[in-house]
Amino acid sequence: MSMKAEIVEIGRRLYSKGLVAGYEGNISVRNGNSILITPSGVCKGFLKEADIIEINSIGEKIAGNGVPSSETALHLKLYRERSDVQAIVHAHPPTATGFACAGLGLDQSLTAETVLMLGAVPLVPYGTPSTEELPEALNGFTGYDALLLANHGAISVGKTLEKAYFLMEQVEQYAKISFVANTLGTPKPLPCDEVDKLMALREKFGIQTGDPTVCSRNGQVTLYRFSRNELVNLIQEILNEVGG
Ligand SMILES: [Zn+2]
């Protein structure tokens, strides 16, 4: 399947699964030195290969008829910072976006599958869509493969477009499970020793990004883990406070 045909197919899946509505969402794939990206103002469920636009690494149009996605800067930021990323999916999955609107990330180690595949899905602070605010809000978060965008939606990246898309499906699934677990009472995250075993498996599978943030040791204590970037930011904040 050609890259353009694959983008068309993933757009169809995003729309049919209700992960986007109307003209929402955007999809891109790295294509050597250029990037193939979806146009704005077109429903992603009914894309045609001819709709896909080719841009260069600074967002200038190389080929195609429409206007490149309004979130092009968001995609370019991730391609710049993550040489391993080949494809990006941005959508507004309703349950996950509900968490993002409630000011909540998906960072409890609730199921083995999500710890393995996603680690934590942190909440990125709000930035006005289609402006430079949104890529700037990603500072410190680009080490994760899936992120919630406050009061907006979610974004996922992958070594292939299908992998990035499956992460988006899993983010929505994870949000639904988290919602049910929290609605039923106090969720019981996996204990830390079990999370440690899953972390060892992640290493074996070559999954290097993301990090589970919450687990409970001896069923009592909640331990917060930080990604390297979060830790660096936290230390920087403390140093600033001490210095100021
Ligand atoms: Zn959006």
The mean pLDDT value of the chain amounts to: 89
Distance, CA 213 to ligand 1 centroid (Å)? 25
Residue 230 annotated among the catalytic residues of the structure: no
pLDDT at 218 (0 to 100): 46
Choose, from 6, 24, 71, 194, the residue flagged as catalytic: 71
Distance, CA 153 to ligand 1 centroid (Å)? 6
Dig out the tokens for 151 from the structure: 């009061």
CATH of the domain spanning 3-185: 3.40.225.10
Say yes or no to pLDDT of 228 above 70. no
Say yes or no to pLDDT of 229 above 80. no
Distance, CA 135 to ligand 1 centroid (Å)? 12
Distance, CA 98 to ligand 1 centroid (Å)? 13
Q: Alpha carbon 2 to chain centroid distance?
A: 24
Other Cβ atoms closer than 10 A to 167: 22
Instruction: Please list the residues that pair with 63 across neighbouring strands.
Output: 54
Q: How far apart are CA 217 and CA 170, in angstroms?
A: 26
pLDDT at 217 (0 to 100): 52
Q: How far apart are CA 113 and CA 118, in angstroms?
A: 8
pLDDT confidence tier of residue 219, bands split at 50, 70 and 90: very low
Consecutive H or E run containing 55: strand 53-55
The two most distant CA atoms of the chain are separated, in Å, by: 59
Top pLDDT among 216 and 188 is at: 188
Q: What is the average pLDDT across 140-160?
A: 94
Q: Are 1 and 46 in contact (CB under 8 A)?
A: no
Q: Are 35 and 66 in contact (CB under 8 A)?
A: no
Say yes or no to pLDDT of 23 above 70. yes
